[in-house]
């Protein structure tokens, strides 16, 4: 993943994004720098909660990738779960 060295790893606790150090007891979540710069913590949390509660909008039978897109005005947040690791990634595609 490009820019992985600057990607911050976070855990999700009680529906709120929490700082690193909680990965051992929570779902692993990665918020890319582009998503962190573009969306508020509330928007990131809301999208993650919807993804977990309602499930993905897209599932690849071939790769097992599960994904959803969330629109906040003109901005789009992509949320996907890696099939092998179960890590959930929140990212904002840059044009």
Nearest to 70 by CA among 80, 84, 83, 59: 80
Round to whole Å and give the CA distance between 29 and 8.
Answer: 9
| pTM of this structure | 0.71
Q: Which residue has the tokens 């039978």?
A: 61
pLDDT in tens, the chain (95 residues): 444 434 444 444 334 444 444 444 457 999 999 999 999 999 999 999 999 999 999 999 998 899 999 999 999 999 999 888 889 999 998 85
């Amino acid at each position: 993943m490009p820019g992985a060295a600057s990607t911050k790893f976070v855990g999700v606790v009680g529906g709120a994004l929490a700082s690193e150090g909680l990965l051992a007891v929570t779902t692993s979540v990665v918020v890319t720098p582009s998503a962190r710069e573009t969306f508020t913590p509330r928007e990131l949390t809301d999208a993650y909660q919807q993804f977990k509660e309602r499930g993905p909008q897209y599932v690849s039978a071939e790769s097992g990738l599960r994904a959803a897109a969330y629109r906040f005005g003109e901005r789009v947040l992509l949320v996907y779960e890696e099939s092998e690791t179960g890590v959930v990634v929140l990212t904002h595609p840059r044009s």
